């Protein structure tokens, strides 16, 4: 029951940052490593990495991002812009008295990591990005419109725009089933449903839980979402077009922070949406000049599915950037 041991050893606190209270789980001492989860997860998604990195001489902090878990969940989607999200992370660094930290982000956590690196590169010692590359901002088309043209009205991003719609669809299932539909996803093409069908209805519920996670671990997520609901997490998607407007001043900016991009070869859209081609392209390398790319065998939640491999990829990268950390 290793995951239960991890949970019992982790310290929990709530930190006031950027006008709200955010919950963090932490373990270990040494250089600060911040682990930023995605949708629909909580700090618990990093349970394996927390233990591993703390054991190797790092102070590991995994927050519930705003809207998630035991963190505050503002109602208005405009409270979930990328500036709010990055501001929350700056608040963590200041709270722990650290000028710099290593950042690891998956999914929306990766989006936050990219923009923290863009806005405040002097605060980021190195960034490990899981799955979601840094795309150049379109100077003409808003994000949701771009996705609608590419994938259609039934993409998850489009379905999540209307307040209450996805919440009502999710509510037709118990929370454990919703977690299984998303966390155990093995789709490799676009995340979209057939016309007129809600995505959550279209996604299958696996009858067998894969070996990398237990029913009990899935219940940890389910119980937390039962307490907090899905509106906060869905508000990240509802702020996407507002983000597009707010990011205009950084049009064409490069990211100079040392970055390791870890991709899963069976991630959603990795092959079909052109992610692989983009990640291997000169455009990506020109936007992120200090870049290392690693492609692993796995799916979207690679940090849980291939926990040991991902932990070693993170450790090798941050060790290279801080060779004096204890073994």
Q: Is 175 a catalytic residue?
A: no
SS (H, E, C) 179-247: HHHHHCCCCCCCCECCCCCCHHHHCCCCCCCCCCCCHHHHHHHHHHHHHHCCHHHHHHHHCHHHHHHHC
Distance CA 184, CA 186 (A): 6
Contact 233, 39 (CB under 8 A): yes
Distance CA 238, CA 257 (A): 28
The residue from 64, 72, 88, 107 that is catalytic is 107
Number of Cβ within 10 Å of residue 294's Cβ equals: 14
Query: Nearest 10 degrees: CA dihedral of 1, 312, 285, 61?
Result: 60
Contact 41, 71 (CB under 8 A): no
Positive or negative, the CA dihedral 228, 107, 45, 40 is positive
The residue from 80, 134, 236, 237 that is catalytic is 237
The residue from 56, 115, 299, 300 that is catalytic is 300
Q: Is 72 a catalytic residue?
A: no
Q: Which residue has the tokens 């990591």?
A: 113
Distance CA 176, CA 221 (A): 8
Distance CA 233, CA 39 (A): 7
Distance CA 230, CA 211 (A): 27
Q: Is 300 a catalytic residue?
A: yes
Catalytic residue IDs: 107, 237, 300
């Amino acid at each position: 029951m290793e995951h239960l041991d991890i949970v019992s050893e982790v310290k929990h606190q709530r930190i006031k940052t950027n006008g709200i209270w955010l919950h963090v789980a932490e373990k270990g001492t040494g250089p600060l490593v911040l682990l930023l989860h995605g949708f629909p997860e909580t700090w618990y998604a990093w349970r394996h990495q927390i233990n591993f990195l703390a054991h190797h001489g790092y102070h590991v902090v995994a927050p519930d991002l705003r809207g998630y878990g035991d963190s505050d969940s503002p109602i208005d989607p405009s409270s979930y812009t990328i500036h709010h999200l990055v501001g929350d992370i700056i608040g963590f660094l200041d709270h722990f008295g650290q000028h710099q930290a290593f950042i690891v982000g998956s999914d929306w956590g990766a989006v936050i990591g990219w923009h923290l690196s863009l806005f405040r590169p002097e605060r980021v010692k190195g960034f490990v990005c899981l799955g979601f590359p840094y795309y150049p901002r379109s100077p003409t088309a808003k994000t949701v419109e771009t996705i609608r043209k590419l994938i259609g009205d039934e993409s998850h991003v489009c379905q999540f725009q209307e307040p209450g719609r996805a919440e009502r669809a999710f509510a037709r299932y118990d929370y454990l089933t919703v977690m299984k539909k998303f966390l155990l996803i093995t789709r490799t093409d676009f995340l979209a449903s057939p016309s007129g069908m809600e995505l959550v209805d279209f996604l299958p519920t696996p009858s067998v839980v894969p070996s990398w996670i237990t029913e009990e671990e899935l219940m940890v997520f389910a119980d937390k979402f039962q307490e907090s609901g899905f509106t906060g997490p869905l508000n990240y998607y509802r702020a996407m077009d507002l983000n597009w407007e707010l990011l205009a001043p950084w049009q064409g900016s490069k990211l100079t922070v040392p970055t390791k991009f870890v991709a899963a070869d069976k991630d959603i859209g990795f092959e079909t949406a052109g992610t692989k081609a983009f990640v291997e392209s000169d455009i990506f390398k020109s936007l992120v000049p200090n870049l290392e790319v690693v492609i692993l065998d796995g799916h979207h939640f690679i940090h849980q599915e291939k926990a040991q491999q991902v932990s070693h990829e993170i450790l090798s990268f941050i060790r290279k950037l801080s060779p004096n950390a204890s073994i």
